[in-house]
Amino acid sequence: MSKVMVFFRDRHSVKQNLKFIMQHGLKISRKLDDIHAIVCHANQVSRILNAANKRDIVEIEKEIRVRLHARERVPWGVKRIGAPRMWQESTGRNVRIGVIDTGIDAFHPELRGRVARGIHMQSPRYKYGDLNGHGTHVSGIIASAHNRQGIKGIAPGVLLYNAGTFDQNGNASSIDIAEAIQWCMNQHVNVINMSFGSPKRSEAISRMVKAAYNRGITLVASAGNNDGGPVDYPAKHPEVIAVGAINRNNKISPFSSRGKDVTIYAPGEKILSTWTGNSYKRLDGTSMAAAHVSGMAALLLAKNPGLPPRQIQSLLIKHSKPLKGTAGSGYIRFS
């Protein structure tokens, strides 16, 4: 409901007229002593004017809408992969993405209302919080709101499922991760983002990855920050889309894992996204690259519900561009 401000001649006239107003059973929203004014709802103005001494009123102002001098930024990675070209057709609406990470700050302005459900293996009270910030950063890349402030995420229409698994130092066990995948499956998610890895293969995670894939869930994982070395698990599993990182120059990032086990590359350097405490932060890593691919998978699924993981992967590869001077996988680029 709109508001109106009524200005009086002086402090004394405010005091006197408030008595008349109260005697008529009327209420005001606020009194601003320093400028001799009261605030009331617009639908009460005429009654307040009848109750007050009109000679004491010097001005009446209806509220004016004021906007922040802030522009919503489209991060370079979101532009590079071609997400803005798809927003007229898809925002990822109602696609469910499980984020297995350190948690998600569900109260960040960019993510408020996007986290449908949550758990946390390390700390149950953090089912809608983040022990570290990494999970909030990943989630912001995927789903930051298009709300005229901050940044734009790739798929602002998605529903996030917070599978908090890692502690404040970024550590988790393979069994915790297997349980988190099972929890995501129980929530009927469509995509699982796994921005983590290990050089060692886990039987527990391997079996859960196969089970999720057979359930029709698209699995995306970061290839690893191994300085050009081999791809980590779970990205190395054939059922998983393994994502390496590129920079603004469309070159593979020096820290990124590479090789035949990388499915696709995506932006992973100086990526601006959400952070705990209603803030923003730039990070490097294949974690960030994986989030770009999960977001794009959601856009595709919202447009083509029911697409199996193999077809999602094929479409992502089809819409990729070759990397300069590099044989093999390209970088994601919808045009």
Catalytic residue positions, numbered: 101, 134, 287
CB within 8 Å of 214: residues ≥ 6 apart: none
How far apart (Å, rounded) are the C-alpha atoms in residues 321 and 334? Answer: 9
Do the Cβ atoms of 286 and 222 come closer than 8 Å? yes
Report the sign of the C-alpha dihedral through residues 201, 180, 275, 114, in that order: positive
Helix axes 286-303, 134-143, angle to 10 degrees: 40
Q: Parallel, antiparallel, or unpaired: how do β-strands 331-332 and 320-321 relate?
A: antiparallel
CA distance 15 to 36: 9
For residue 280, the cross-strand partners are 274
- Structural contact between residues 8 and 58, judged by C-beta atoms closer than 8 angstroms: yes
